[in-house]
Structure 1
Amino acid sequence: MSASDLERELADLKQTAIAAIATAADLDRLEQLRVQFLGKKGQLSQVLRGMGKLSTDERPRVGARANDVKQALQTSLEGARNNLEAAAIAAQLASETLDVTLPGVGRPLGRKHPLNSTIDRMIEIFIGLGYTVAEGSEIETDYYNFEALNTPPDHPARDMQDTFYLPGGKLLRTHTSSVQIRYMERHAPPIRIAAPGRVYRRDTVDATHSAVFHQLEILSVEEGLSFTDLRGTIVEFLRQMFGTELEVRFRASYFPFTEPSAEVDVRWQGKWLEVLGCGMVDPNVLKAVGYDPERYTGFAAGFGVERFAMVLHRMDDIRRLYASDLRFLRQF
């Protein structure tokens, strides 16, 4: 093959390759063309194999021509690559463009349920009074729910009509007092805890009662506590909760785990409304957790969260708190 034949092949190769490169639709096709024309086994290499038969004078001229073709193809490939990359970026920007003139897709913000906000408010007050939050399981044993709280087997609360019993000697706790027992078993006095949570009792649902409701109980144990400390704590809590002008009264009552015990009423809408029970911790309860009742005294109180929420927000029916009616909940 003569030098002129090789030069014609190089010219044809250049024309064919540049035309193919100009029509490449994507980067993958462009890479295929690069390999086809400039690869080790590409068409340019095949043409250059014929240089071995040329004379010493012809080789430099054909070699220079081959370098020109190679440079032209590389320039064409680079230009096409830049154009394809720019086009890809432009297409991506176009597809991902955010039209800021359109209204956004809004998601309504949630709100605290009145029960949760009431619990938070109660806890905040007690934390300010030096209490620590303690929580426990809603499934309990008879020991922690009754026996350790000085509640004898013949107490009405143990009746099947008052308590939800489960297989294996378990039950759904009827109060959060079981949290107090478990906490005292693990901690030595002095202690001050507030125990919020859900509790269960067999009860007929009506405007003021529910089989599932929420409690918050407090417990304080240390040396020298008296009923005066209990009364001061309760009055301060109620006045922070409802206002300093609130009327509060204590009535003698009975609970198996406190002695003496009292019910506490507040003046609400012109009438006395019972809001909690309280008392000094019975010595038998202290003994059950290994405390010395001759050295330590304590007081406890239990608050119905639903009752407080109803008073705070002037609700007429406890069932409104559980109906998930947005017309009602959006008011809070």
Structure 2
Amino acid sequence: MANAPAELGTHDKDIYFVPSKSRWPLVASVALFVTMFGFANWLNDVSWGRTVFFLGIILLVVTAFGWFGEVVRESIGGRYNRQVDISFRMGMAWFIFSEVMFFAAFFSALFYARQFVIPWLEGQGHGVETHAMLWPDFTGGWPSNGPEAVGGAYQTIPAWGVPLLNTLILLTSGLTITVAHHALKAGKRGILLAFLGATVLLGWLFLFYQVEEYTHAYGALNLTLGSGIYGSTFFMLTGFHGAHVTLGTIMLAVIWFRCAKGHFSADNHFGFEAVAWYWHFVDVVWLGLFVFVYVL
């Protein structure tokens, strides 16, 4: 590991590296537009919506490989200095903060529906007149699909089955990536690759059990995205978290290959650290989900 190419260049600290012109920002914009355009039409049952959506996804994957490939080549070529490293760290920190706000919006929707809307519909607080005039027979409680019983009767997923197992899986993955990080800083290549590989496998294991959970919810419990406010908040929170686990697992796999190729040194390895930060964020969000969605 000591002979690995340094991520930080030897340029003067006052010179900020400016990359050459790139086509990837334009390609990424087109890919995002195509993806969301296809998704919107898919939701509206347009026949070609799903096809356009997956074409956009493919274009996004190509963009990711191409754009990040350029960054990796610049990094191992020694073009980055301390100032660039600081900007990368600030960028990743702000990105994770934006993700915190993203999930905060969905948690807020859950809390608002649970603590205010359902009690109001039952006639508590400001909802006395609404309850008396529209739904005098409604006695909700949480979980609820509302006074119209949208989506029909359903059952919830017990917290102490697959959700608890997935919690233990993610907590273990947080430990394995921490061990891998310490191994990288200590120059222990074998331990690094073993524990980072274990983190990747744990990520895929989490996703496997989540797919099983969703299959059981839709097939046996009649719990769907259309099951009123409970179903929508449940699947929005757990589904977006699953998407983040998928992205994080892919990033971990890419970092594993970069570690195998010796792209990082004990002192310069922000690419690894950025993914580790993201993965710990995913862990923390899941703990919130487990408590407020499954347990309470």
TM normalised by structure 2 equals 0.23
Q: Which structure is higher in RCO with an 8 Å CA cutoff and minimum separation 6?
A: 2
Which of the two has higher C-alpha Rg? 1
TM normalised by structure 1 equals 0.21
Higher share in strand: 1
